[in-house]
Amino acid sequence: MWLFFIVPVLLALLTIELYYRFGKAGRLIRKIPGPKPWPLVGNILSYFQTPEKLFIYQRYLNKHYGDVNQIHLSLAIRMVNISNPQDIEIVLSGSEHNYKDHPYIYLMNWLREGLLVSNGIKWFQRRKMLTKAFHFNILQKYFVTFKEEAEHFQKVVQEEVRKQQTNLLPFLSSTTLRIMCETAMGSTHENMQSLMSKYFSSLEDIGDCFTKRIVAPWLHLEPIYQLTSLAKKENIAVKYLHGLTNSVVKSRRNFLAETNFNQFDNDGECNSKEKLAMLDLLLKNEKSGLIDHEGIREEVDTFMFAGHDTTATAMTFMLMTLANEPIIQDKIYAEICEIFGETDRAVTTEDLNLMKYLECCIKESLRLHPSAPIIARYLRQDTVLGGYTVPANTTCLIYIYDLHRRADLYPEPERFIPERFLPENCAKRHPFAYVPFSAGPRNCIGQKFAMMEMKTVMCALLRKFRVVPVTKPSDLVFKSDVVLRTVHPIYVQFHAR
């Protein structure tokens, strides 16, 4: 009896295998260097590894097979990996390649069709709407929150001075989450400590599910995935995160209605001198019919995640690096002293603009440790990359981590050299040699927000404290995840100046 089921399935799989191997797309993809795929299962067996070994394997692909290489995750999912600026420019700069599919679709249970994962007209309309939330005059209002939270952060760091070591990522994440609660949602949650613990654990669960689902082709099918314990874990996390967002949106909507509080004029321009929340802009557009409640939740979820996690990760690696580079840390402190003198006055946006060396250090840290080490685009038409024709309907993985460590672009690529980002040195490099915030039409909409936030927090910290090493760069063991993660926590010590 089983033969009546097994034989048709095997014949169907064989037909699909022959189609993908010997059809036009198969003939094109076989010309691209890469590990030899097994019949039916492709290269998926190479991905059944621990997250840390998978991270190493990804580096191996680019070193062994070159700037353009290919893998098959399954019969139908083929991927091309690129890590040179010329090919990256082709993929990121044109609107014809700004489509997202695999692997971002596995975040849609949580983020639905928020800006990070949406496509087409919906993405274009949302991008246009949300761009207003990051205009220069709006950033000035976010800065009020940055400054307040940086001052609060100084007090928190003072408590850490007594300790032998501080685990940086959760420590910094609490600050960036507070900032996002204020700037994205308009309020610091009443029970912030318990919120942080539950929020971080929910994000960790979603990241774990996302990574495991990508490398298991049978889990790509939603009905099968929903039968697994992995889906149960993800659904619990998503339910909590959606509930939190719904609660905050409802609270903010009621506040605006009760106080008749309006920060925007009829053209969507900010006319208030008060602190600003991105949520207010979304609620204004809801009244105009440009977005509904579901859309508001999508974007708040997206910005809460992208705005706090990536920034906390970036500052974690930067502080670890500065702790191990005392001469560079002293140069930053000297720049801060030159700006502030012996005064204890609050930082201004004008001060931030003068912190050129600090900015170079942030950029160099993002080169070595990009928060998003890999991004992806879905190629919907045949595209020539590195002299090879990549067939349509192929996922293109852009390895930012490997791009940023190319010796032909960055001599001594493993060294931390902030002077690489002096204007005269940047001018010599390919414009797509450095893309920590992506590039092109789908670049990070909040990159100026993130840079202003990081400069404000780093200035507040280094102005009062010295960072002393515990974890060394050689101790870092990276693992494959949504953002750049390490297997072990990253620790430093804080000493008062």
* 150 belongs to a structural domain: yes
Predicted local distance difference test score (pLDDT) of residue 15: 63
Q: How far apart are CA 411 and CA 144, in angstroms?
A: 39
pLDDT in tens, 207-248: 889 988 988 888 988 999 999 999 999 999 999 999 888 888
Q: Give Cα 351 distance to the centre of its chain.
A: 27
Q: Is the pLDDT at 191 greater than 80, yes or no?
A: no
Nearest to 401 by CA among 414, 391, 390, 388: 414
Q: How many domains does the chain have?
A: 1
Asked if residue 8 is part of any domain, the answer here is no
The confidence score (pLDDT) of residue 292 equals 93
* In a domain? residue 346: yes
Q: Which structural domain range is residue 465 located in?
A: 31-496
103 prior amide bond cis, ω within 30: yes
Q: How confident is the model at residue 377 (pLDDT cuts 50, 70, 90)?
A: very high
For residue 177, what is the DSSP state? Answer: H
HSE value, Cβ hemisphere, 13 Å, CA-based, for 318: 30
**Is 14 within a domain?**
no
Angle ∠(458,439,81) on CA atoms, nearest 5: 110
259 to 41, 253, 274: CA distances (angstroms): 60, 10, 14
In a domain, 21, yes or no: no
Query: Residues 93-122: what's their mean pLDDT?
Result: 90
pLDDT band at residue 266 under the 50/70/90 scheme: very low
Looking from the CA of 155 toward its CB, the CA atoms found within 13 Å total 4
Q: Which helix (H) or strand (E) holds 334?
A: helix 326-340
**DSSP classification of residue 133:** G
- What is the model's pTM? 0.92
For position 432, which CATH number holds?
1.10.630.10
Q: What is the pLDDT of residue 7?
A: 60
Tell me the pLDDT band of 479, cut-offs 50, 70 and 90: very high
- The pLDDT value recorded for residue 14 is 59
- pLDDT score, position 238: 96
Band (276; pLDDT cuts 50, 70, 90): low
Does residue 306 sit in helix, strand or coil? helix
Residue 70 pLDDT grade (very low, low, confident, very high; cuts 50, 70, 90): very high
On the CB side of 234, how many CA atoms lie within 13 Å of its CA?
22
The amino acid that residue 253 corresponds to is R
Digit-coded pLDDT (tens) for 379-434: 999 999 999 999 999 999 999 999 999 999 999 999 999 999 999 999 999 999 99
Greatest pairwise CA separation for the chain in angstroms: 86
Phi, psi of 429 (to 5 degrees): -95, 155
Q: Distance between alpha carbon 193 and the CA centroid of its chain, in Å?
A: 24
Please give the Cα distance from 454 to 460 (Å, whole number): 10
CB 22 within 8 A of CB 195: no
The answer to whether position 1 is within a domain reads no
Task: Indicate whether 116 belongs to any domain.
Answer: yes
Task: Kindly tell me if the per-residue pLDDT of 126 is higher than 70.
Answer: yes
Q: List Cβ neighbours of 10 (8 Å cut-off, separation of 6 or more).
A: none
CA 398-404-409 angle, 5° bins: 115
Q: Is residue 408 part of a domain?
A: yes
Of the candidates 377, 368, 374, 362, the one whose C-alpha atom is nearest the C-alpha of residue 455 is 362
Q: Considering only 46-50, 143-147, 271-275, 329-333, which range has the smallest mean pLDDT?
A: 271-275
